Amino acid sequence: GSSSREPCRSPPKTSGTLCVSSSKDDAIAWGEFKYDSSQKHLRFVEDTGKSNKTSYLDVLIDFDKGVLYELDTKNESCRKQMLPSHKHPLELPSDATHVEELYLGRLDKTEQGLRVRLWSGNLSDHDAHHADHVQAHYSMTTTSCGCIAVSYTYHSEKNDLVFSFYNVKARVDDSQAFTPPRYCEGLTTEDA
């Protein structure tokens, strides 16, 4: 059946627009993302024109090391945090279950629909940093062709997060985006 389908692999580098919304605090962040799957690096810079907040997100995440840098390029300040999980919304986990293949939009007219695959799985983290065991569930939608992330929903007792991806390109124009700035060097990590 469809559940035996192996999880697909996304392109090694992707970039585009990302919208993150949270049910916990009604927060929505729109911005540009860059992701390198071989290095497991993500940069997300919030678009300041989309809202009238006083502070904007600029994060650099190293999923292999489990570290998140919160950057303030204007004031050259940096916070370093440990991540609670190494699994994340930019890549389909290798143990994801294939649910089904569907059309977003209209099925009988090619320009009016997008063929997607729906995947799901559990994110239970047995982590050295965290004594409290977080049981979470995710579902992810990728394009059938090319395995491009369309959306990712993360559900736990504490919070629901929805990640939506738009205008994705299979490249990253600025590889410097993944290098932590000089002013981040020598920082001690805080627990997220």
CB 28 within 8 A of CB 42: no
> Does 177 or 89 have the greater pLDDT score?
177
Residue in the block written with tokens 């006083």: 54
Q: For residue 19, what pLDDT band results from cuts at 50, 70 and 90?
A: very high
Give the mean model confidence (pLDDT) for residues 52-72. 87
pLDDT in the model for residue 134: 65
**Among 141, 178, 169, which residue's Cα sits nearest to residue 16?**
169
Q: Specify the DSSP class assigned to residue 75.
A: T
Give the mean model confidence (pLDDT) for residues 26-33. 88
Tokens representing 25? 């605090």
Using the predicted structure, report yes or no on whether residue 121 has a pLDDT greater than 80: yes
> What domains lie within the chain, and their CATH numbers?
2-183 (2.50.20.30)
CA distance 38 to 50: 31
Using the predicted structure, report yes or no on whether residue 133 has a pLDDT greater than 90: no
Look over the chain and give the mean of its residue pLDDT values, rounded to a whole number. Answer: 87
Residue in the block written with tokens 């004594």: 131
